Amino acid sequence: MEAVAKLQNVPTSPRKMRLVADMIRGKKVSSAINMLKFEPKVGARYMEKLLLSAVANWEVKHEDFANQIGSLVVKTVFVDGGKMLKRIQPAPQGRAHRVRKRSNHITLVVGLPSEGASLADMTESIANQAAEQAAEALESNDKSNQE
């Protein structure tokens, strides 16, 4: 159960947009929207609007599961290079340099988490388990030192 949203010819270089895409990949939609709202990069505005569009697409596609919107995750995000505008920049001594104004295409897929948790969720749960084990070890050391 997935929904796809695509945005084409975004006037940002693909390299800069991939930084934003890497930030939200595998996250829950609610936390991804919060991250994008407060991100100062220009690409975050485009990505936020695209994410909201993907959620709306999911709502229309899966009306029966409207109560599960809170559990949606960003399954995949990828950024491809788009059209490139080539311009000329005058340079010293009669020369000219080529300026390449890059654009990109973004594809974003949201859906319910699969049976196997996403990579971000698994990493988070492993970190929580390690923290709990460390806390238990400290408590047992404190008890043995007191006796």
Sequence ranges of the domains in the chain: 2-114, 115-147
Output phi, psi for 99, to 5 deg.
-110, 125
Task: Quote the strand ranges of 11-61, DSSP E.
Answer: none
d(CA 137, CA 37): 39
Q: What is the pTM of this model?
A: 0.74
Q: What is the pLDDT of residues 10-49, one digit of tens each?
A: 999 999 999 999 999 999 999 999 999 999 999 999 999 9
d(CA 123, CA 143): 31
Q: Options 3.50.50.60, 3.90.470.10, 3.90.79.10, 3.40.50.720; which CATH number does 2-114 get? A: 3.90.470.10
